[in-house]
Chain A
Amino acid sequence: MVTLGDYLLVSALLFTIGFAGAMLRRNIIIILMSLELMLNAANLSLVAFSRFHIGPDGLPNYSAQVFVFFIITVAAAEVAVGLAIIVALFRSRQTTHVEDLTSLKF
């Protein structure tokens, strides 16, 4: 029997993997991929709560799925803008390694 807690735990594990990736990796493209993993972990727990909360009409709570739809749209827009910034950065600096990009460092 799969409980709500199992889904939440898997979601937390996926978020932790993405979190660790964003902090440990030094390649800016991999950091962007880790951000995607974290956004999707949040989506998984939202959909699990949507299925768990059966409304009076006997259907899952679809508001959460609408929210997931918005998150997916924003994530796709974020990837497009992020990759465009990376391309612009690579053009001027010839690197995607975050330790080489320290001109904003205080």
Chain B
Amino acid sequence: MMPAWLFWIFALFMLIFGAAVVINRNPVASALSLVVSFLGLAALFMSLDAYFIGIIQILVYAGAVMVLFLFIIMLLDLRAENLRRINWVASAGGVAVALAFFVQVACVIGNFKAAAQAFPALPQTRSDDVRSVGLLLFSQYNLPLQIIGVLVLVATIGVIILSRRETR
């Protein structure tokens, strides 16, 4: 586990840049804020001793998904959106629903007894999480892994068919 101040720094970092994704008018700035937010999230994963998930997070999001987003934004040549008349009633409704959702979740967490406990210490100094996750993946969760493989194949074929230019 990390020291507490490091947790709060990374959490703040992640939340600020997460908010920047929503607030920025320029899609490129949003995409770059998204990757910084995900780097903070990867640091939080590592603070929970989930090194494998943290590395996967950086590789998949900061590497692949991020490049895909930027590539599409550049390809479509999207500029910062010009100001349209904002529907204030709809915006206020959206913020109110989001806030109501957060208050509900916070109440649930507040009433959850285990939430006030600190994390128990790991007995071993070295936890081999890549090996453990890999073993589970190929023994107990082998069928879901195969299904995920089929899903990725279907997604690949689907993307190729969707982005093919129609020839008549």
Contacts and interface: CB of A to CB of B under 8 A. Distances in A.
Contacts of B2: 2
Interface string B75-91: 11010010010000001
A75 B151 CA distance: 11
Interface string A10-39: 101111111111011111011011101100
Size class of the B contact interface (CB-based, 8 Å): 35 or more
A5 B115 contact: yes
Interface of B: 1-2, 4, 7, 11, 14-15, 18-19, 21-22, 27, 30-31, 34, 37-38, 41, 44-45, 48-50, 52-53, 56-57, 60-61, 64-65, 68-69, 72-73, 75-76, 78, 81, 84, 91, 94-95, 97-99, 101-102, 105-106, 109-110, 112, 114-120, 122-124, 127, 129, 132-133, 136-137, 140-141, 144, 148, 151-152, 155-156, 158-159, 162-163
13 contacts: A1-B118, A3-B116, A3-B117, A14-B41, A21-B22, A37-B21, A43-B41, A50-B50, A51-B50, A52-B120, A72-B57, A79-B68, A80-B155
Contacts of A97: 81
Contacts of A5: 109-110, 112, 115-116
A101 interface: no
Interface in A35-71: 36-37, 40, 43-44, 47-48, 50-52, 54, 58-60, 62-63, 65-66, 68-70
Contacts of A14: 14-15, 18, 41
Contacts of A8: 109, 112, 115
B124 to A, nearest CB: 6
A87 B114 contact: no
Contacts of A96: 76, 78
A68 B124 contact: no
A15 B104 CA distance: 13
Contacts of B144: 70
